[in-house]
Amino acid sequence: MRKSIYLFIVTFFCSLVATSQAAFSVNSFCIAAPSQDRVDDFVHFITSELAPNGVNTLILRVDFNYAYESRKELRDDNPLSRESVKKIVSACQKNNIEVIPQVNLLGHQSWAEKLNKLLEVYPEFDETPHVKIPEKYEWPNKDGLYCKSYCPLHPQVHEVVFDLIDEIMEVFEAKAFHAGLDEVFYIADPLCPRCKGKDPAQLFAGEVTLLSQHIDKKGGRLWIWGDRLIDGATTGIGMWEGSTNHTEKAVDMIPKSVVICDWHYEKAIPTPAYFALKGFDVVACSWRKPEVAVQQVKMMQGFKQNSTPEMQDHFLGVMHTVWSPAGNFLDKYDDPKQEDGEKGSDLQCFKAMVSAVQKIETDQ
Ligand SMILES: [Zn+2]
């Protein structure tokens, strides 16, 4: 009897040690939601690849690819049904993966020649209605058009946006929501009657705060990309992974509960320390360079090891991001010969990230 109690105690403490060996609290994977006809393949991918590789958080970029009931007018063609979403949710729950849906807000309201659904249906929300979407998109262009933005001060825009957030969090049974908010180039436009002359940082922070408060009230948490909060000029990081349009001071104006997804695809730039020093939880994000993903894993572990207990918990972990359609990535996963090598490989980058995390865990 005493022996069995002893064994129980040993087993109990061993299990505690095993649990504490996870390198990070967040090992995440970010991808566009699949098309309706690839849902079963995607569910298989969750079960057979994400879960065994230790992924515990899935950021799913849904945008308008869902059959919204509250806002039927904003459905893309052939959107995901409620049943399809529930298949994904069920697969994630069975594998202890938290799923966080994303609808890109503020910026990214168009892509190349295509206006996204929000501004197509509600053109009055457009921050720059005087900028026409070209027949053939090229970058750079005279309008500085990368993507359209909605006007954060339009009196009706949040009624619509909050409906989308509420419904997508409900169907995904989500505790967190990712609002995108990256690469917002059109903000405080001098021709917008509401925003002209206003401070871009205050406008950006106002939008983040409003979204965060709405999600907080539901017991959830807001996640965003971090680029608009970094001074792109002083750091040399530039206008994409940082901000050169004067939004960076918003870092001191937004709620500390917001989770920052700090993406740097060419180098493991040490900005996660900046966000942690400001009191934010932060995730380092990679894309298609395996060596960058490996360095980000090492960097985040180094930050944790060399930080005070107050800061350690802010370094949540890492994220792999996929920017091609989900179906393309699934095809590549099944047939790696399809790899497009020259500029790097999102598939190899994902594998490098999970291997680097596993190496830390086995070395501990
Ligand atoms: Zn405006």
pLDDT tens-digit series, residues 127-174: 999 999 999 999 999 999 999 999 999 999 999 999 999 999 999 999
Residue 7 confidence (pLDDT): 55
Identify the three-state secondary structure at position 86: helix
Taking all residues of the chain, what is their mean pLDDT, rounded to a whole number?
A: 94
Point out the least confidently predicted range of 243-247, 304-308, 341-345. 341-345
Name the percent of the chain lying above pLDDT 70.
93
Point out the least confidently predicted range of 48-52, 218-222, 284-288, 336-340. 336-340
Q: How far is the CA of 74 from the centre of ligand 1 (A)?
A: 21
pLDDT 10s digits, 85-114: 999 999 999 999 999 999 999 999 999 999
- Residue 49 clears pLDDT 70, i.e. is over it: yes
Q: How far is the CA of 150 from the centre of ligand 1 (A)?
A: 7
- Residue 328 clears pLDDT 50, i.e. is over it: yes
Residue 4's pLDDT band (cuts 50, 70, 90): low
HSE value, Cβ hemisphere, 13 Å, CA-based, for 348: 15
Residue 343's pLDDT band (cuts 50, 70, 90): confident
Residue 342 confidence (pLDDT): 67
Residue 336 confidence (pLDDT): 74
Q: How far is the CA of 125 from the centre of ligand 1 (A)?
A: 8
Residue 334 confidence (pLDDT): 85
Phi-psi region of 317 (alpha: psi -120 to 50; beta: other; left: phi over 0): left
- Residue 20 clears pLDDT 90, i.e. is over it: no
Q: How far is the CA of 154 from the centre of ligand 1 (A)?
A: 7
Q: How far is the CA of 197 from the centre of ligand 1 (A)?
A: 10
Q: How far is the CA of 112 from the centre of ligand 1 (A)?
A: 21
pLDDT 10s digits, 331-340: 988 887 776 6
Question: Which residue intervals of the chain are DSSP H helices?
Answer: 2-20, 39-45, 82-94, 117-121, 157-171, 200-217, 232-235, 238-241, 271-277, 290-305, 309-312, 326-334, 346-363
Residue 340 confidence (pLDDT): 61
Q: Which of 263, 268, 262 is nearest to 282 (CA)?
A: 262
Q: Which of 309, 250, 305, 304 is nearest to 282 (CA)?
A: 304
Q: How far is the CA of 204 from the centre of ligand 1 (A)?
A: 11
What is this structure's pTM? 0.94
Residue 66 confidence (pLDDT): 98
Q: How far is the CA of 189 from the centre of ligand 1 (A)?
A: 7
Average pLDDT rounded to a whole number, residues 248-265: 98
Residue 181 confidence (pLDDT): 98
- Residue 195 clears pLDDT 50, i.e. is over it: yes
Residue 17's pLDDT band (cuts 50, 70, 90): very low
CB 223 within 8 A of CB 179: yes
Q: How far is the CA of 203 from the centre of ligand 1 (A)?
A: 9
Q: Which of 160, 97, 151 is nearest to 127 (CA)?
A: 151
Q: How far is the CA of 226 from the centre of ligand 1 (A)?
A: 22
pLDDT 10s digits, 212-251: 999 999 999 999 999 999 999 999 999 999 999 999 999 9
pLDDT 10s digits, 162-189: 999 999 999 999 999 999 999 999 999 9
Point out the least confidently predicted range of 8-12, 38-42, 181-185. 8-12
Q: How far is the CA of 192 from the centre of ligand 1 (A)?
A: 5
Burial of residue 191 (CB within 10 Å: 0-12, 13-18, 19+) is exposed
